Amino acid sequence: MEALKRTDNTDQNKQTGLMERDPRTAWWTQGRFGMFIHWGLYAVPAQGEWFMYASRTPVREYENLAEQFNPTEFNAQAWVALAKEAGMRYIVITAKHHDGFAMYRSKADAFNIADATPFGRDPLKELAEACEEAGVVLCFYYSHVIDWHHPHALHKEHNNTWDYKLEEKRFQEYWEGKAKPQIKELLTEYGRVGLLWFDTAGGLSEEDSKDIVRHVQSLQPDCLINSRVSHYMGMGDFVSKGDNEIGMSGEDARPWETPMTLNQSWGYTTKDQVWKTADTLIRKLVNVIGKGGNLLLNVGPTPQGTIPELSAERLREVGEWTRRNAEAVYGTDGSPFPLEPEWGAMTTKPGRVYLHIHNGAWTERSLRLTGIRNKVLRAYALADVSQTNLSCEQFYDEPLDLHILQIQLPSQPTDQYVSVIALELEGENDFDRTLTQLPDGVFQLEVPYAQVRLVREADAAAGTAPFRSAEWNFKLVKPGTYELLLVSFKRHDQDWESLYPEPIVLESEGQAIAKEPGEDMADLDSPSCQHPYTAVVSRLGTFTWKDTGIKTLILGSSRLKDPAPQFTEIWHADPVKLRALRLVRLED
């Protein structure tokens, strides 16, 4: 088989380390966990926040819902108290969603909760006061491009075309007459606003993107802006991943977050009863923070103004865990190592490493780690009030330049769902960040830690996509024969056939495989994968490495993404996503 050729020098090998630091984002990155609230007029029909668009409801008919919206049970203090009980440090609430209805008293547009409903109050004003009193940072979501109520709002694709004609839209009338004036209201009448969370910027010009950033900064210079302010890469202060998207380890150099739902919907709905368990939520939380990200977890309040009890129950369960393990969550950095351990996740602070071990992966055997050069002064379970020392030993493998730590775990997990083991280190943190196989468990090579290069340009005439190679250089600790498993995320509404248009190509040390990936196994317990995707594992074959040391492995596929795209991508747009190559050592 012809060796993979590389035609450019694009280096996508993101070595693990501290992310780029900006003092303005410090409060946010230290907070790690926030509450997202999708609440609006769409709560009345109880079919989700896209109800108006999905049902093509005429503006005048939709406006009639305001007469039914009277959330007299709304209690700002209760909402903020629940967020604090869950361990959330900030709240992001929909000041205006795509339906154009403002959830505050807006002078710029009478289509708002204070002027158009029997409620007559400003819930955001009440939330601002409750947040200030409780020490929680209040933030606002604002749909700056999509507005189905306004005749001149213009998006790349999701427009109100049943009331208004596209050719008659004058975007600047909406932009200057509603969007910017309402943003000014939010940033001048509600005290400190931690961040503005923009959404769905498709079609917004680069000039208008920069205009809205300048507008925000002129009003509150310290107010953060998320990346969805624009579809141009690099905009905003932090990266908002796609809805329910947990990024791959090493994927983002900037601070990032995952916006996630408790079920599969954002706004209040009676149809969706697929709820995540507390165990699942905590494992996803540690997966996100272990990669250095924030988790923004959503609730959809009822038209009466209450957070559904099942949502509240889940948040309180998560809060019991975050209170016990706060030291390992807030103010931490992600794992210093370029891999995801099979047993859970890691976070760090100066002089500390925290091992977040899923109870389902608990072992009575000792846990072995590599890469900590510091002397470990002691190890103990964070939930153990007595902080009893755990037995641990350190070794150095000189031929492999490998620092090994062996910890004897307690016979049983020490906490609910995820148990945290704290390691106290001597001196400043000193880690070997080489991509290294862990002594125990599965070794997974994530795409962001490979050098991704173009091999072949797209050929429109032949109907072929760009073909790229991903090259990993890693330290193999155990020689032997390994099964090679491709990890893909398949969208729930897709059939597997034709998702991979050509065989996956693998090469290493004279060994080569070309195999069409099959839908061989579903990884239903993946902490990184969730709706609308399912993790699929494909068997590709085996490679044998007869000795230890630095190895090179190359994978070729048209499903490898451009490492330097110009525009941000919609998370749920791709039918399949190539995420990683998993190496499983076969027993001798």
pLDDT at residue 271 in the model: 84
For 556, the 3-state DSSP assignment is strand
d(CA 131, CA 89): 10
Nearest to 292 by CA among 324, 250, 242, 234: 250
pLDDT at residue 106 in the model: 98
- State the CB neighbour count (10 A cutoff) for residue 318: 25
* pLDDT tens column, 20-56: 568 899 999 999 999 999 999 999 999 999 999 999 9
Map tokens 């389902």 to a residue: 360
Give every CB contact of residue 299 below 8 A, 6+ residues apart in sequence.
35, 36, 37, 38, 262, 307, 308, 311, 315
pLDDT at residue 16 in the model: 43
pLDDT band at 6; cut points 50, 70, 90: very low
Tokens of 526: 């993946």
pLDDT band at 374; cut points 50, 70, 90: very high
Average pLDDT score over residue span 140-164: 97
Average pLDDT score over residue span 137-145: 98
Q: Is residue 12 pLDDT above 50, yes or no?
A: no
Which of 3.40.109.10, 3.40.190.290, 2.60.40.1180, 2.40.50.100 is the CATH number of 335-425? 2.60.40.1180
Average pLDDT score over residue span 123-137: 98
Main-chain dihedrals φ then ψ at residue 216, nearest 5 degrees: -65, -50
pLDDT band at 525; cut points 50, 70, 90: confident
pLDDT at residue 460 in the model: 86
Average pLDDT score over residue span 141-163: 97
d(CA 490, CA 209): 32
Which of 3.20.20.80, 3.40.47.10, 3.40.50.300, 3.60.110.10 is the CATH number of 27-324? 3.20.20.80
443-585: CATH topology is: Jelly Rolls (2.60.120)
Percent of the chain with pLDDT over 70: 96
Contact 539, 520 (CB under 8 A): yes
CATH topology agreement for domains 27-324 and 335-425: no
Nearest to 360 by CA among 440, 275, 418, 414: 418
d(CA 99, CA 50): 8
* pLDDT tens column, 481-520: 999 999 999 999 999 998 999 999 999 999 999 999 999 9
Map tokens 């074959």 to a residue: 541
Nearest to 287 by CA among 441, 418, 95, 125: 418
pLDDT at residue 15 in the model: 42
pLDDT at residue 462 in the model: 86
* pLDDT tens column, 431-487: 999 999 987 768 999 999 999 999 999 988 888 999 999 999 999 999 999 999 999
Mean pLDDT of the chain: 93
Nearest to 33 by CA among 251, 257, 239, 245: 257
Average pLDDT score over residue span 114-131: 98
Q: Is residue 586 pLDDT above 60, yes or no?
A: yes
Query: Of 22-26, 282-286, 340-344, 437-441, where does mean pLDDT reach its minimum?
Result: 437-441
d(CA 482, CA 507): 13
Nearest to 29 by CA among 325, 238, 322: 238
Beta pairing partners, 480: 545
User: What SS3 string covers 395-441?
Assistant: EEECCCCEEEEEEECCCCCCCCCEEEEEEEECCCCCECCCCECCCCC
Average pLDDT score over residue span 80-102: 98
Give every CB contact of residue 356 below 8 A, 6+ residues apart in sequence.
286, 290, 328, 344, 345, 346, 347, 418, 419, 420
**466 CB-contact burial (10 Å; exposed 0-12 / middle 13-18 / buried 19+):** middle
Domain spans of the chain, in order of start: 27-324, 335-425, 443-585
Contact 128, 187 (CB under 8 A): no
Q: Is residue 215 pLDDT above 90, yes or no?
A: yes
Q: Is residue 2 pLDDT above 60, yes or no?
A: no
Work out the angle at residue 407's Cα, subtended by the Cα atoms of residues 525 and 375, and round it to the nearest 5 degrees. 120
Average pLDDT score over residue span 242-251: 91
Contact 487, 582 (CB under 8 A): yes
Average pLDDT score over residue span 165-191: 97
